[in-house]
Chains A and B, each alone.
Chain A
Amino acid sequence: MEPHHNITVDDFAILRLPSGARKMIQLRFDGIINMGKFGTFTVEDVLGYPYGQAFEIGNENKLNPIESLEFGITDLAELDTEDLINGSSKDNRLLIDQGNVQKVTVEEVEEMKNKIGGNEVAREIIQTMIKNHGSFDKKTAFSQEKYLDRKHKKFLRRFQINYLTSNEMLDYLYYEKEPFRIMNLSIEMLGSIMSQGNVMPGGNYLVVDETGGLIVYAMLERMGNKGSITLLHENDQPSIHLLNKTRFSKEIGTSINSMVQCINVLQFLEPENEKPDFKPLTNEEYLKLPEPMKTQYDRKIKRFEITNNVIDRVLKNDFESLIYVSTLNPTTFIPRIIPRLRGSSPLVIYNQFKEVLVELNHIFLREKGILLPNIHHSVVRRYQTIPGRIHPLMTSRSDGGYILTGIKVFPIENVVAVGRGSKKRKTNSKNVEENESVIESTPEVV
């Protein structure tokens, strides 16, 4: 279950464009990928290059592998010919905002953009724009570079093909689709879920995944082909369509040996009632069946085995972690899941709103069956990373959600905590439960 290192036919991959836009593409052998103003390329021409490779479309649509998507895009030297750039200014004191400094019209640019060809088209556009820019020389070198950077990102006929990792999938869904479909998840929170959930090869995990399979995919990446995932879902069929785009598309509940087994919440919460009522035929009875009935019977018995197998798995009460990424109210659901977990199992409950997690955390704090209950959040601050001009980005995507974590334990009834002393002493000492702070009330009436 190793990921492909090289661009491979039929894989799904992420196409990155100079503008920062992402597209999910499937690499069909005879496919032609149209990137609009960034040009077109044929899939056959990129097959075999390492994943992550950037390309520039050259003369006659020939693809040239380049160092990176952003390679040289602020390079003024390339343009520094006398008729193009008349030097630059030390500062911008002479730069006057006088409206139409650009003499090339939008229509003219549009016309050039539609020209078929390679990167020479982009260069032509940018050079024309600079040539016809009334006050380019009044800009500082920094500002000129920024201008170039902006124009290049708009017009360069370049692209990059990335392997469809869970990170690439997450970014694609967040930026190009609707963030709510992945519950606003961020890469840093996905990482937290994986680490706090102790995801590793060989584990036996219980998962609720409302992101369409992104969570399961991130787990499978870490597990390879070792271990098992029991996917708990609320519908008749689970929604994990994203997995079909990955190398794990065959690992989903198609036989009792598949890594991912699915079970709905009814089967999970009422396993004894939901065990399929099915009596297998004896061998003789089976042989007497007409051929089409045999196929039907085979299918039925397979489904029966799969369902039975996953219900048995639940009844073992031996899941090693719970990873819960769902909008189903955790306060009413999680307490009914906990008995199915092994002792010392981590629980990771994700929600994009921390308010949803607080009520359950209060239950955890009160009932002692979950140790170290905590609501975590982390956010990454990104920087513009150009030496001499390093600063945090002016805008970034908003935060991901929150996780409530804890560890399942077996408290003995009626034991006094270490350090808490007897009940009587407790009332006199300051040693109150950390979340039971005392509130001063209003002064007495009258």
Chain B
Amino acid sequence: MPFLDRKKFIEEGDLVLVYVSRTIIKPIYVKSGEHFNTRFGSFPHDSMIGLEFGSQITTPKDRGFVYLLQPTPELWTMSLPHRTQIVYSTDSSYILQRLDVKIGSKVIEAGTGSGSFTHAFARTVNNEGNLFTFEFHETRYEKAKEEFLKHGLNNTIITHRDVCLNGFQIEGINSLDADTIFLDLPSPWEAIPHLKNQIAINRKVGICCFSPCFEQVVKTVECLQNDGWIDIELTETQGRLFESHKTMKRDVDDAIKRLKYVKEKQREGLELIKAGKHPRKDNNNDSGLKEKDYGFNPFGRGKRIIEGEEGFDWFNVTRLESEVKTHTSYLVFASKMPEPKRII
């Protein structure tokens, strides 16, 4: 099972995430006889079978290459077909850690959306846990259901339901006994009261409500308060991705040396003119000089220099990616304690 487990070699039927470029990662199911086509060429699935995940393959004509990656929830988030706005790893990783999600946790998620977070939940609670996910949009539900089945998310039960109207009760299960709740809904305050009989009664329960707008936050906080939730806290995460670069070390001493050099050349030129000679034509004896021959760093002398090129000094620096996600959603966290009964 690709997401709940790990695997070394690619076999027939496996889900493989094909890395074409930084922005293109395509999920495929390996099937003998089929081809993975890109505008750079066609990659036969047969050439993938038996290889170790992480291998690179080329087109038969060596025109291009791709990498074959093992699916993880984080890579899946980068490659998945978007059906809705998705929960990105900066948020999902924080929510998982903050809500103590681990092997065996019992989770309620509503709505399922594109199923991005569902994969991370399923991986983390694994075969020992349960994930009950609810989606009210019928097409999205159908697509997600099929996807989870293909991905072998055996611990996940998806239900087509508007939880705000009809709650979380699942037929045949008395209580979902959930200890972790994630609500990514337009109006979480309509769903929260329905949680009552579905959450664990023998341990602390954690909730996270994920809403983009402040007006939603205010209503959610009030609802949680009235419903007996404690330690209510609003937070938001800011994820940052840094690009690594090199920038040239240009020292003022080199600039001074260069100015002195220029001055000297001008003086020499003037003397040549005085002597009736053409300064350029007759004095091109430094044409063969290389940069280092000046005895100082001339900052490239009219050349186009590739970042990091040898022969120059560089700082190792970072820069924020050109477009930064400044807002994903507000995260409202809260906990609910069981009855203060002593069990010894």
Q: Write the residues of chain A forming the contact surface with B, with a CB cutoff of 8 angstroms.
A: 2, 5-6, 47-53, 65, 67-68, 70-71, 165-167, 187-188, 190-192, 194-196, 198, 200-203, 218, 221-224, 226, 318, 320, 342-346, 354-355, 358-359, 361-362, 365, 371-383, 385, 387, 390, 402, 407-412, 415-419, 434-446
Contact = CB atoms under 8 A, between A and B. Distances in A.
A202 B40 CA distance: 38
Nearest to A432: B306
Given A65-B340, A224-B102, A378 B237 contact: yes
Interface centre among A6, A67, A408 (most CB of B within 10 A): A6
A48 B69 contact: no
B20 A418 contact: yes
A224 B218 CA distance: 37
Interface string B222-248: 100100101111111111111111101
B97 A67 contact: no
Contacts of A342: 8, 52-54
B19 A371 contact: yes
A201 B3 CA distance: 11
A50 B244 contact: no
A381 B238 CA distance: 8
Contact of A441 (B265, B305, B332): B305
A195 B92 contact: yes
A376 B230 contact: no
Given A439-B300, A445-B262, 18 more contacts: A52-B335, A67-B228, A188-B97, A224-B102, A344-B68, A361-B244, A371-B67, A372-B22, A374-B242, A376-B239, A382-B234, A390-B218, A390-B221, A407-B69, A435-B243, A439-B306, A441-B299, A443-B302
A435 B53 contact: no
A178 B33 CA distance: 60
A220 to B, nearest CB: 9
B28 to A, nearest CB: 15
A34 B58 CA distance: 69
B247 to A, nearest CB: 8
A167 B90 CA distance: 17
Interface stretch (B70-78, B168-176, B180-188): B70-78
B52 A190 contact: no
Please provide the 9 A-B residue pairs with the shortest distance between their CB atoms, ordered closest to farther.
A343-B54, A191-B97, A441-B300, A418-B64, A48-B342, A444-B302, A65-B340, A195-B93, A344-B53
Contacts of B243: 435
A435 B103 CA distance: 40
B121 to A, nearest CB: 11
A6 B338 CA distance: 11
Contacts of A167: 97-98, 100
A381 B333 CA distance: 13
B266 to A, nearest CB: 8
Interface SS of chain B: mixed
Contact of B342 (A47, A223, A408): A47
6 contacts: A221-B103, A381-B237, A417-B65, A439-B304, A441-B305, A444-B301
B244 A192 contact: no
A165 B236 CA distance: 22
Contacts of A435: 243-245, 307
Given A198-B74, A378-B239, A446 B67 contact: no
Interface residues of B, number: 106
Contacts of B244: 358, 361-362, 365, 373, 375, 435
A55 to B, nearest CB: 9
Given A343-B52, A439-B300, A445-B265, A362 B238 contact: no
A340 to B, nearest CB: 14
Nearest to A413: B56
Most buried by A among B21, B54, B63, B68: B54
A210 to B, nearest CB: 19
A438 B344 CA distance: 70
Contacts of B73: 195, 198
Contacts of A415: 56, 58, 62, 65
A374 B300 contact: no
B11 to A, nearest CB: 14
B235 A50 contact: no
Contacts of A361: 244
B186 to A, nearest CB: 20
A444 to B, nearest CB: 4
B126 A412 contact: no
B318 interface: yes
B258 interface: yes
Contact of A445 (B126, B217, B235, B301): B301
B237 A418 contact: no
B196 interface: no
B13 interface: no
A408 B54 CA distance: 7
A377 B204 CA distance: 30
Nearest to A369: B54
Contacts of B338: 50
A65 B337 CA distance: 11
B47 interface: no
Contacts of B67: 371, 409
Contacts of A416: 62-65
B343 interface: yes
A382 B90 CA distance: 15
Given A436-B306, A442-B299, A412 B58 contact: yes
Interface in B118-140: 120, 123-124, 126-128
Nearest to B7: A344
